[in-house]
Amino acid sequence: MSMAYLAQPEQQQQLEWLDGGTLAILLDGKATDGQLMIGRFDVSEGEAPPYHRHTREDEVFMLINGTALVWYGDQEMELSEGGIVFLPKNIPHAYRVTSKKADLLMINTPAGIEGMFRCAGRDRATPRPEGFEISPALMAEGADMFGQVILGPPRQGAPAPGRANHAPITKRSTPADNGGG
């Protein structure tokens, strides 16, 4: 049975992530009885994970501040400040931050992916080893252990006008929008 959990900002684990960014682990599987993981990225322009897919969890990203390109299957989309995207498990995806800075909220359900971030990243509360970097080998190791499949390098590019596979992320209509319940 789950119990209520509260963690103030200073109690949240801060991981060094790609390109010197930070991932704050807001909630993990231990706090949520395995139900979900919530993390918050503070990252800079160009930050991009490898093109990958999740075998165990669905993922939601909300861009609190900044802009990014998102690749989902064979589509490239722009995500603007306040935008949100749902990425079901087993669908290849990636993103690249296109603004100078970005504040990105990530929600995964069920929990477990935090193990990959802890494996490949570095807890900022510990001394930084000389020459530390999140190498492709470290990413692959963490991915293998926690149900991620790396499909290729980080995606490149910027939106090109008229590109066939480029579209802004927009709201889909739901039954409620059409008077249904």
Residue 73 φ/ψ region, left for φ over 0, alpha for ψ in the -120 to 50 degree band, beta for the rest: left
Q: What is the mean pLDDT of residues 86-112?
A: 97
Asked if pLDDT for residue 104 goes beyond 80, the answer is yes
Residue 18's pLDDT band (cuts 50, 70, 90): very high
Residue 6's pLDDT band (cuts 50, 70, 90): confident
Asked if pLDDT for residue 174 goes beyond 70, the answer is no
Query: In order of start, what are the domains of the chain with their CATH numbers?
Result: 11-148 (2.60.120.10)
Q: Give pLDDT tens digits for 20-47.
A: 999 999 999 999 999 999 999 999 999 9
* Token representation of residue 9: 């900002």
Where does 131-172 show beta strands of DSSP type E? 148-152, 166-168
Q: What is the mean pLDDT of residues 116-124?
A: 96
Q: Name the strand (E) or helix (H) holding 114.
A: helix 114-120
Rg of the chain over CA atoms, in angstroms? 17
Mean pLDDT of the chain: 88
Q: How many Cα neighbours within 13 Å face the side chain of 63? A: 24
Residue of higher predicted confidence among 136 and 109: 109
Residues present in the chain in total: 181
Question: Which DSSP state fits 91?
Answer: S
Scanning the structure block, which residue is given the tokens 């494996």?
A: 119
Asked if pLDDT for residue 130 goes beyond 90, the answer is yes
d(CA 1, CA 34): 10
Asked if pLDDT for residue 120 goes beyond 80, the answer is yes
